[in-house]
Amino acid sequence: METVGLNAGFWSGKRVLLTGHTGFKGSWLALWLRELGAEVTGFALDPQPGPNLYELAQVGRDIKDARGDLRDLGALLEVVAEAQPEIVLHLAAQPLVREAYRDPLGTWSSNVMGTLNLLEAIRQVGGVRSVVLVTTDKVYANQEWPWPYRENEALGGHDPYSSSKACCELLAQSYAASFFPPASHAEHGLALATARAGNVLGGGDFAAERLIPDVLKAWDAGHPVTLRYPQAVRPWQHALEPLAGYLLLAHRLYTEGPVFAGAWNFGPAEGDMCSVGDVVAHLSRQWPDSPGMRVEPSDLHEAGVLRLDSGRARQLLGWRTRWSLRECLEHTLQWHLAWKRGDEMRAVTLDQLNLYAELS
């Protein structure tokens, strides 16, 4: 399979360590890597209780599945030493803004110390050539301005989740400069980059306090969905869009080294950066007799406007989005209805993955 600049010939047989493979994005990425022929070792906590993409799509069927906590350096050293990865894709994290308010210590320790432990395991074991650390679009010091953020904008983070991910960006910069500097790349052989994606949607996301799972759960029960910030603007995109970016970036880091290091944005087209209320309205047009929405404002801070400029990825990586917001919501709803019907979800998931992959 070749798609969006991805080369199955490159990925075939590559040893890849993927953290967070039991999560929503991680499950999609693990399936994609296997379709490309990579030898995948996953390291993550158990998947969330209840329905989850990892189990529904049988992701663990043809990868090496290691369970553990990123805060356990010994466990990470063991997995890295055994897997001997050439490429590391780090997706594992505590990813929810409101959960971070409830458990800031757990969020900072998982996201910051977990990332530190992974980098230290990579440094100690050696042999890794390409590392992509996934953070978030929320790492920027949000000024609530209407234009999109570029990679050279100031980092910040009002809430604990955003702050923890901004810390990961600084940590990555420090490790790259201290232990994997470009000037000595011929000696250590490793190139490291961070990836900042927008708000991802797609089939198989059952997480609490995320927009589309909340909408579908409420509408399945015949209730209007409760929205906290219907006016909030976010960069919406299907999960496969940034995942394609991570794969392209990992490839270029591997083959061309630190010239592709640093931070990269992977966000949607400008027209798909719309409000929460607009997204729900889009989805309701595809859902006959949808119960609609109601608003219950929250006193917890969340950014009002957040847009990403992905010009660097488009120009230097040749990456671009393939599905509009309308198409993204259509595929997400189709996946959900297939699950409700009791369809075989590995086949459904792979069909959508291959549909995306056929675009060029």
CA dist 29 to 24, 57, 326, 345, Å?
9, 12, 22, 16
Q: What angle do CA 306, 312, 316 make, to 5 degrees?
A: 155
What type of residue sits at position 5? Answer: G
**Residue 20 has which token pair?**
């967070």
Pairing of strands 199-201, 233-238: parallel
Would you tell me how many other CB atoms lie within 10 Å of the CB of residue 342? Answer: 7
Residue by residue, DSSP assigns 149-172 as BPTTSPB--SSHHHHHHHHHHHHH
Instruction: Report whether 92 contacts 23 (CB < 8 A).
Output: yes
**Residue 288 has which token pair?**
């006959």
**Residue 251 has which token pair?**
């490839």
Q: Is 225 helix (H, G, I), strand (E, B) or coil?
A: strand
Q: How far apart are CA 263 and CA 140, in angstroms?
A: 12
Q: How far apart are CA 129 and CA 261, in angstroms?
A: 12
Bridge partners of 40, per DSSP, are 16
DSSP 8-state secondary structure symbol assigned to residue 46? P
Residue by residue, DSSP assigns 138-149 as GGB-----SSPB
Is 356 labeled as catalytic in the residue annotation?
no
Q: Which of 161, 175, 246, 254 is catalytic?
A: 161
Q: How far apart are CA 51 and CA 216, in angstroms?
A: 13
What type of residue sits at position 253? Answer: L
DSSP 8-state secondary structure symbol assigned to residue 51? S
Catalytic residues: 161
